[in-house]
């Protein structure tokens, strides 16, 4: 037996203004996308913005449903919108922002486990890492190099 370690490295920025111009712009699209979220039940609006390889930006937001499990997270709305419209375009980065009317989100809101798995599928498919940048409404921003770094011991098609 031996101990192994799968540590995650991330960059922590004090706020959105510390990001590069490209990342800040992408995050602004994510923030803007929160405004069109359909979140009447949780009042928790999430926006996601994908920077594609041709520098176009595709956004998504969470879409809730009176039958709660039928709703969908912003990240999956965005990645499925991208993959269904442009199946051969690679994704360079995803920015995620969240705002709640219940409280001020002053720490980074990471993608949920199901979204990490869904995003990971496309990272593997395209053979190129996708940077992930996420924040709450205000305050710190986290940036990682890949989806894989958010998903240790991940499952992919190589097991099938």
Which residues are at the interface with ligand THU (CB under 6 A)? 39, 42, 44, 46, 62, 64, 71, 73-75, 111-112, 115
Q: From the candidates 14, 64, 75, 121, give the one annotated as an active-site residue.
A: 75
Least CB distance to ligand THU at residue 3 (A): 31
- Give me 103's structure tokens: 């409280």
Per the annotation, the verdict on 75 as an active-site residue is: yes
Q: In whole angstroms, how close is the CB of 12 to ligand THU at the nearest point? A: 19
- Which residues, 6+ apart, have CB-to-CB distance to 26 below 8 Å? 49, 51, 57, 93, 95, 133
Task: Name the residue nearer to ligand THU (CB basis): 75 or 131.
Answer: 75
CB of 67 to ligand THU, least distance (A): 13
Nearest-10 crossing angle of helices 74-85, 21-34:
110
What lies within 8 Å, CB to CB, of 72 at 6+ separation is: 62, 63
Residue 19 or 98: the one with the smaller Cβ distance to ligand THU is 98
Rounded to 5 degrees, φ, ψ at 102 are -85, -35
Q: What is the set of active-site residues?
A: 75
């Amino acid at each position: 037996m031996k101990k192994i370690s799968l540590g995650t490295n991330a960059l922590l920025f004090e706020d959105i203004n510390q990001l590069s111009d490209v990342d800040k712009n992408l995050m602004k699209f994510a923030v803007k996308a929160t405004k069109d979220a359909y979140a009447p039940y949780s009042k928790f609006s999430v926006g996601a913005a994908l920077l594609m390889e041709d520098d176009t930006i595709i956004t998504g937001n969470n879409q809730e449903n009176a039958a709660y499990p039928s709703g969908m997270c912003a990240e999956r709305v965005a990645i499925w919108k991208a993959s269904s419209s442009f199946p051969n375009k690679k994704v360079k980065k995803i920015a995620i922002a969240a705002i709640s009317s219940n409280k001020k989100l002053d720490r980074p809101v990471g993608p949920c486990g199901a979204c990490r798995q869904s995003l990971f599928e496309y990272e593997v498919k395209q053979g190129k890492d996708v940077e992930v940048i996420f924040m709450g409404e205000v305050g710190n921003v986290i940036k990682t190099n890949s989806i894989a770094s958010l998903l240790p011991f991940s499952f992919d098609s190589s097991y099938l």
